Amino acid sequence: MKQNKPNRLTPLIMAICTIVGIVIGTFYANHFSGNRLNIINSGSNRLNNLLHIIDDQYVDNVNIDSLVDMAIPQILSDLDPHSVYIKAADAQKAADDLKASFSGIGVEFVIRQDTIHVQNVIKNGPAQQAGIIAG
């Protein structure tokens, strides 16, 4: 019986195929992501141009930041009812309020067939300190 010997060219062919695949993949990734980036840039450029025209040529003084703050919620309202814009100061206040409002033993649980199952133990909470684990 004749034994199959590994061909010396096999590793070279595999390396060339890998390099060609990487080059083709990089080309297509750059080509398609560039189109999306151009679409986004064209939209943002129009908004920037509009804001510059208003700032430079509008009769009265206009607070551009307030115009942007009014435009963002309107843009998001056209997406879906769950997309909202929260200003940075309001987001920080909400996060601070949430940090201080939790009470309990520090577990997330569900009840299945009259039995409590702990799904998660809150880090550094009383349950973790008492040795309770999820499961």
- Do 15 and 50 fall into the same domain? yes
Co-location of 76 and 54 in the same domain:
no
Q: Same domain, yes or no, for 54 and 91?
A: no
* pLDDT exceeds 70 at position 39: no
Same domain, 54 and 71: no
Determine the pLDDT at residue 10. 82
Number of domains in the chain: 3
- For 80-121, the pLDDT digits (tens) are 888 888 888 888 888 877 776 567 888 888 888 888 889 999
Between 14-18, 32-36, 81-85, 92-96, the lowest mean confidence (pLDDT) is in 32-36
Burial degree of 4 (CB within 10 A; 0-12, 13-18, 19+): exposed
Confirm whether 3 is domain-assigned: no
Can you give the pTM of this predicted structure?
Answer: 0.40
Examine the domain organization and report whether 49 and 84 are in the same domain: no
Task: Answer whether residue 2 is part of any domain.
Answer: no
Tell me the C-alpha distance between 110 and 135, whole Å: 11
Given this model, what pLDDT does residue 130 score? 92
Average pLDDT taken over every residue of the chain: 82
DSSP classification of residue 108: E
The answer as to whether 123 is a domain residue is yes
* Alpha-carbon span 42 to 49, nearest angstrom: 10
Give the length of the chain. 135
pLDDT at 63: 92
23 and 48 together in one domain: yes
Same domain (yes/no): 46, 16: yes
Residues 38 and 21 grouped into a single domain: yes
With CA atoms as reference, report the closest residue to 53 among 43, 42, 64: 64
Structural domain includes residue 18: yes
Q: Which residue has the higher pLDDT, 103 or 123?
A: 123
Q: How far apart are CA 86 and CA 90, in angstroms?
A: 6
Q: Does residue 18 carry a pLDDT above 60?
A: yes
pLDDT at 97: 74
Q: Tell me the C-alpha distance between 99 and 25, whole Å.
A: 45
* CA 112 – CA 117 distance, rounded (Å): 7
> The domain containing residue 14 runs over which residues?
8-58
User: Given this model, what pLDDT does residue 32 score?
Assistant: 65
133, 121 contact by CB (below 8 A): yes
DSSP designation for 131: T
